[in-house]
Amino acid sequence: MSAGEISFAHLPEDSASLKTMLRTVLVERDSERQRVEELQKKTEEQRKRADELYLENLHLQHELARYKKWYYGPRADR
């Protein structure tokens, strides 16, 4: 039997037990969906933060280059 196949041999015959199992599976599914959504949200927040830090780094590099040019003069570029 492959991983995608379902074995019905171990399922209970009575309706109450089947309903209980189904409820459990649905609760687990909903919990996993919520976990995935939270992870996606966290990933997006981290991506935005990384972009902000990248832009800040570029700004600081530009500012540093300006200060070096001001301090050392145009000869430092050669």
Instruction: Give the pLDDT confidence of 21-31 residue by residue, as tens digits.
Output: 999 999 999 99
pTM of model > 0.75: no
Q: How many CA atoms lie less than 13 Å away from 63 in the CB half-sphere? A: 6
> What are the tens digits of pLDDT across the range 45-55?
999 999 999 99
Contact 68, 61 (CB under 8 A): no
